[in-house]
Amino acid sequence: MIKYPINFKLNGQLVSVEAPATINLLTLLRDYLNITSPKFGCEQGNCGACTVILDGEAVNSCLVLALTVNGRAVTTVEGLGTPEDPHPLQVAFTEHYGAQCGYCTPGMIMASKALLDKNPHPTREEVVEGIVGNICRCTGYNKIVESVLAAAEMAR
Amino acid sequence: MADYKYVGKRLPRYDGMQHALAKTRYVNDLRYPDMLHMKVWRSPLISAKILNIDTSKAEVLPGVVAVVTHKQVPHNRYGAGDYPVLADEEIRYLGQEVVAVAAVDVDTAMEAVSLIQVDLEERTPLLDPFKAMEPDSIQLSPIGNFIKFDGNPYRQILKGDFESAIQEADFVVEGYYRTAAQEHCPIETQVSICQTDGMGRTHINTVTQAVFFNQGTIAAILKKPRSKVHMIGGVLGGGFGAKNDPHADHIAAVVSLYTGGRPVKWLWTREEEFVASTHRGAMHMFFKDGVMKDGRIIARSVRSIRDGGAYILTNDYVVAKHAFGVAGPYNIPNVKVISYGLLTNKRPTSSMRGFGLFQASFAFEVQMDRIAKTIGVDPWRLRFINAVHDGDTSATRAVLHNCALIEVMQAAAGRAGIRLDEELLHMASHSREEV
Amino acid sequence: MARQRGTGIAAVWYPTGMSGGGDPSQAMIKMQPDGSVDVLIGSVDIGEGARSVMRQIAAEELGVPIELVNVTLVDTDSSPLDTGTFASRVTHQTGNAVIQAAQEARQVLFEVAAGQLGVEPQQLTLQDGMVVVRDFPEQAIPIADVADYAVWTERRLIAGRGSFGWAPVKVDPETGEGEPLHNMAYGATVAEVEVDTETGEVKVLKLVSAYDCGKAINPLLVEGQIDGGAAGGLGSALLEELHPYYPTLDHYPTGFFSYMLPTAKDVPALDAVVVEMNSISGPYGAKGIGEMTANSQAPAIINAIYDAIGVWITDLPATPEKILRALEAG
């Protein structure tokens, strides 16, 4: 299979990788770059578990052709915080129990980050709108919404 | 009331920050050197006789390491002893697994599956559980379509004398209720990584909710003692009952016997999860209640039929638990319950959050409102005056203790800003005396 | 040609542990030389937080700071047997097993400390990381010191074992008489809905609930079950149908585009009360909670729909089509 070069910014660092034209960004990140935070949930573009930020927009990485990120910037949870210095969203999700099984959590956090980057002081309705593309089967969403609102408060 | 240091405290999840940092390792995040990928050939027909399985073209495709049919399964039955690991004589549900392929990558495995030829003789499927109950219906198993309970084709609960009591009732209220078949949809699909080592031990990274139960099941399939089956579980990406029965582990474990020690991973697609994983079966419930003018329910009969799917799995448990609890948290002296589980040509149904009592709760609580409307009693009052108290017996004549139906109703009403009658607010579960 | 509102209620019950019994959970506890504790359980965490609950129980029973308590993941090579994470059984069965294991480990600790302090083991108790002589609290040794002494000098293993589950139950084959369900827990939900009589769509405005889980070992985790259950129950009531042309498999859904799941927009804010009607057998009086919280919403919503528009939708899910057809027929 022919592989093509892809050069892009991943969590602030320039990366170079070669991949076939047929794979999506989810596969590129998970299988070629060891970025395992975006999860395989459906690969049909419906659940949001694979959400990453591409040039400032929250996207389902399973719907993005890998080659199209050439020259662009991708952010994942790996680029957010560390155990020593977690991102406010990560602190909030922990304190407000925004994650139960944790599988939808990376997608939820990236969707939330995309929202907060554009709208640092969202209302509850705006947070709900921001995560409406992310399915969670465990939490019933309320504590996720509370976590995002708390993170917004923290960053104030 | 003792004050504890940790018990009773709102402590954040132990591994909460792990989740938030996306450092939790799920099975699909694990990589092993030399890992192979697995795909299976699934039946496109709902019901069929298997005439022939030809894997010859798949076996010679470059990159294919193992092609496994029922012939390579050491012991090809599990569940209630009726469920094949890989189908041998027949197809009983759409998507049933017939052949498994392990190859160097997913694309090769999928191409190999497309080269497999399975000759099927299509049969008329049996999809309606009511039809399955008819004596001249297609019989899906050698012992018929009825799932058995201590030898009977139903689970029966008899308390008091329903037939006499219903004659004494002021009102007879009937209702039919149906809950749908549902899929759990955990965001993480079924996935397994199996590797059989040089000592004959099979190591399995599993997403099962019932690790030891599956260890026993897989050991029996592999015809080995439990000490040869090593299962490593952890945090699943959601369960809800989807991951109690074997899905990926048992077939991947068998395949791993034939990969020369290489680990093999099988990740189910979301489509496979919908079509071929266990789910909640539809349930049909027929209520007939005898109610007095003052609202006391003196007689309740329930007939339930569960659409069980093609193999028994935990259907008998679900139907039994349903039967035990379907009369509801109410002190009804005369109860008759007959609950059936029928085999049909659907994916075998099994556990899902609520396990028979989700269905029962829906039915008995809508029935309560139907009674309330029919006899002209307030729906809260109806529930309060029938609610179980400590010392009452259930339909199976078990003595109840630490009851709280009254208290939770009082609390819910209070929280919802609904002012209940003083009489109801003064009731308590521990005694029928005025509090 | 209107939006009609309605209120409905439902009250439910649910047992703790596996129906029919025979569902053991085993646990083992071992203490390291510095007082660190490893709790070995066979229960996997499916998101409900089993490890966190067991950690709280173990730390409470052993009197050690919770930071020193580690709860292992499940590995059949080293974890003791557990029937499984289902049937709302883990807090109760595994919790009791952990308490038993902690009691045995504590006894070993006391035997060693008794030697160090020159007293009898039954005179000792635990307090704030110390082994203390009950009547003379100034006589105390840090647990960590006892552990170190036990391992290296006394050469003893500070460990304990536990196993708890319901006994297997046989019910009468004809009458069902017996006690297959144990420790019933209770719940009630008040649902407020708004039905659009033109489109048949139902919006759930409020779900107000009260659940009895006996002692809530971790109320935050209990809220998580209530919240998650509410979404599950709502989905069952209004959205989820695997066989749209039941009983056939026609148009079988193969993804979330045709099997509808609740999103963040569908579930109203959490509004629930935890009622603690302690059980006689649960750890600290706990009962199970995980499944019951998904059972009370569907009937409450259907009853609310009846209140709103006077039709019984007794065949779930209550899709817009069913509601419009019922309105047409009624």
CA Rg value for chain B: 26
pLDDT higher than threshold 70 for residue B379: yes
- Enumerate the residues of chain C whose CB falls inside 8 A of the CB of residue B351: 86
Residue C1, pLDDT score: 63
Q: Do A77 and B18 touch (CB under 8 A)?
A: no
Nearest-angstrom CA–CA distance, B248 and B233:
14
Residue C128, pLDDT score: 86
Local confidence band at A1 (pLDDT 50, 70, 90 cut-offs): confident
Q: Do B325 and C217 touch (CB under 8 A)?
A: no
| Tokens at B100, concatenated | 């498994």
Please give, rounded to a whole number of angstroms, the shortest distance from the CA of C96 to a CA of chain A. 23
pLDDT higher than threshold 70 for residue B434: no
Same domain for B289 and B385, yes or no, is yes
| Cβ–Cβ contact C61 with B under 8 A | no
Q: Of C138, C291, C321, C328, which residue is the catalytic one?
A: C291
Domain boundary among B274, B293, B323: B274
Nearest-angstrom CA–CA distance, A116 and A149:
9
| Cβ–Cβ contact C167 with B under 8 A | no
Total domains present in chain B? 2
Same domain for B370 and B409, yes or no, is yes
User: For C262, which residue in chain A has the nearest alpha carbon?
Assistant: A135
| Tokens at B77, concatenated | 């039955």
Distance set, CA B221 to CA A31, B214, C258 (Å)? 32, 10, 36
Q: Residue C126: CB partners within 8 Å, gap ≥ 6?
A: C62, C63, C106, C132, C143
Apex B75 CA angle, B70 and B81, nearest 5: 105
User: For A135, which residue in chain B has the nearest alpha carbon?
Assistant: B187
Of C19, C185, C306, which has the smallest distance from its Cβ to B321's Cβ? C19
Chains linked to C by 3 or more Cβ pairs within 8 Å: A, B
Nearest-angstrom CA–CA distance, A54 and A38:
13
Chains linked to A by 3 or more Cβ pairs within 8 Å: B, C
Among candidate residues C225, C176, C167, C200, the one with its CA nearest the CA of residue C20: C167
Of B19, B185, B267, which has the smallest distance from its Cβ to A99's Cβ? B19
Residue indicated by tokens 């009489």: B423
Mean pLDDT of C66-82: 96
Q: What per-residue string of b and e applies to A91-115 under the rule 16 or more CB within 10 Å gives b? A: bbbbbbbbbbbbbbbbbbbbbbbbb
C120 an active-site residue? no
Which helix (H) or strand (E) covers residue B117, if one does? strand B117-122
Q: For residue B52, is it within any domain?
A: yes
Residue indicated by tokens 């179980």: B388
- Enumerate the residues of chain B whose CB falls inside 8 A of the CB of residue A76: 22
| Cβ–Cβ contact C290 with A under 8 A | no
Nearest-angstrom CA–CA distance, C118 and C139:
10
Same domain for B308 and B421, yes or no, is yes
CATH number, domain of B177, equals: 3.30.365.10
Same domain for B303 and B401, yes or no, is yes
Q: Best interface-test mutation with C: which of A137, A142, A149 has the largest number of C CBs within 10 A?
A: A142
Torsion on CA atoms B264, B270, B272, B274, rounded to nearest 10: 150
Same domain for B166 and B299, yes or no, is yes
Q: Determine the 3-state secondary structure of C228 from DSSP.
A: helix
Query: Class of A88-155 per CATH?
Result: mainly alpha
CATH 3.10.20.30, chain A: domain bounds: 4-79
Of A40, A97, A102, which has the smallest distance from its Cβ to B12's Cβ? A97
Q: What percent of chain B is predicted at pLDDT more than 90?
A: 97
Nearest-angstrom CA–CA distance, C140 and C125:
9
Residue C109, pLDDT score: 96
Please give, rounded to a whole number of angstroms, the shortest distance from the CA of C176 to a CA of chain A. 35
Q: Do C47 and A143 touch (CB under 8 A)?
A: no
Strand A57-60: give its sheet, edge to edge. A13-19, A4-10, A73-75, A51-54, A57-60
- Enumerate the residues of chain B whose CB falls inside 8 A of the CB of residue C211: 408
- Enumerate the residues of chain C whose CB falls inside 8 A of the CB of residue A140: 226-232, 267, 270
Of A47, A91, A106, which has the smallest distance from its Cβ to B22's Cβ? A106
Write the pLDDT tens digit of every residue in B331-368: 999 999 999 999 999 999 999 999 999 999 999 999 99
Q: Determine the structural domain holding residue B174 and report its residue range.
A: 155-182+279-425
Which helix (H) or strand (E) covers residue C303, if one does? helix C297-309
Mean pLDDT of B143-156: 96
Please give, rounded to a whole number of angstroms, the shortest distance from the CA of A124 to a CA of chain C. 10
Q: For residue B13, is it within any domain?
A: no
Which helix (H) or strand (E) covers residue C6, if one does? strand C3-14
The domain C25-164 is placed in CATH, from the list 3.40.50.360, 3.30.365.10, 3.90.110.10, 2.30.30.110, at 3.30.365.10
Q: Determine the 3-state secondary structure of B196 from DSSP.
A: strand
pLDDT higher than threshold 70 for residue B226: yes
The domain C3-16+182-329 is placed in CATH, from the list 3.30.390.50, 3.40.1010.10, 1.10.10.10, 3.30.365.10, at 3.30.365.10
Write the pLDDT tens digit of every residue in B381-394: 999 999 999 999 99
Same domain for B197 and B219, yes or no, is yes
Local confidence band at C270 (pLDDT 50, 70, 90 cut-offs): confident
Of A37, A94, A104, which has the smallest distance from its Cβ to B12's Cβ? A94
Q: Best interface-test mutation with A: which of C225, C256, C289, C296 has the largest number of A CBs within 10 A?
A: C256
Q: Phi/psi zone of residue C312: left (φ > 0), alpha (ψ -120 to 50 degrees), beta?
A: beta
Write the pLDDT tens digit of every residue in B64-106: 999 999 999 999 999 999 999 999 999 999 999 999 999 999 9
pLDDT higher than threshold 80 for residue B435: no
Q: Residue B234: CB partners within 8 Å, gap ≥ 6?
A: B25, B26, B27, C44, C45, C73, C74
Same domain for B364 and B240, yes or no, is no
CATH number, domain of B260, equals: 3.90.1170.50
Pair type for strands B229-232 and B202-205:
parallel
Q: What are phi and psi of C164, to 5 degrees?
A: -145, 140
Same domain for B235 and B332, yes or no, is no
Same domain for B116 and B228, yes or no, is yes
Q: What are phi and psi of B12, to 5 degrees?
A: -60, 150
pLDDT higher than threshold 80 for residue B1: no
Same domain for B370 and B227, yes or no, is no
Q: What percent of chain A is predicted at pLDDT more than 70?
A: 100
Residues A111/A48, Cβ–Cβ less than 8 Å: yes
Q: What is the overall mean pLDDT for chain B?
A: 97
Of C48, C226, C265, which has the smallest distance from its Cβ to A100's Cβ? C48
Q: Do A140 and C231 touch (CB under 8 A)?
A: yes
Residues C264/A112, Cβ–Cβ less than 8 Å: no
Q: What are phi and psi of C114, to 5 degrees?
A: -60, -40
Q: Best interface-test mutation with C: which of B6, B183, B367 has the largest number of C CBs within 10 A?
A: B6
Q: For residue B137, is it within any domain?
A: no
| Cβ–Cβ contact C250 with B under 8 A | no
Q: Do B19 and A102 touch (CB under 8 A)?
A: yes
Q: What are the residue ranges of helices labelled H in B205-307? A: 211-222, 249-256, 270-276
Domain boundary among B240, B274, B308: B274
Written as one string, the DSSP assignment of C234-299 is HHHHHT--S-TTTTS-TT---STTTS----TTTSPPPEEEEE----SSSGGGB---TTGGGTSHHH
The domain A4-79 is placed in CATH, from the list 3.40.640.10, 3.10.20.30, 3.40.309.10, 3.40.50.150, at 3.10.20.30
Write the pLDDT tens digit of every residue in C171-225: 999 999 999 999 999 999 999 999 999 999 999 999 999 999 999 999 999 999 9
Nearest-angstrom CA–CA distance, C225 and A153:
26
Same domain for B205 and B256, yes or no, is yes
Please indicate whether the domains covering C3-16+182-329 and C25-164 agree at the CATH topology level: yes
| Cβ–Cβ contact A33 with B under 8 A | no
Of B14, B238, B274, which has the smallest distance from its Cβ to C259's Cβ? B274
Q: Residue B36: CB partners within 8 Å, gap ≥ 6?
A: B65, B66, B102, B103, B104, B259, B262, B263, B264, B265
Written as one string, the DSSP assignment of B9-67 is --PPPTTHHHHHTT----GGG---TT-EEEEEEE-SSSSEEEEEEE-HHHHTSTTEEEE
Residue B383, pLDDT score: 98
User: Of chain A residues 76-115, which have a CB less than 8 A from chain B?
Assistant: 76-78, 80-83, 86, 89-91, 93-95, 97-106, 109
| Tokens at C228, concatenated | 């998650």
Q: What percent of chain C is predicted at pLDDT more than 90?
A: 97
Q: Determine the 3-state secondary structure of C59 from DSSP.
A: helix
CATH 1.10.150.120, chain A: domain bounds: 88-155
Q: What are the sequence ranges of the domains in chain C?
A: 3-16+182-329, 25-164
Same domain for B75 and B163, yes or no, is no
Handedness of CA B415, B419, B421, B423 (dihedral sign): positive
- Enumerate the residues of chain C whose CB falls inside 8 A of the CB of residue A131: 264
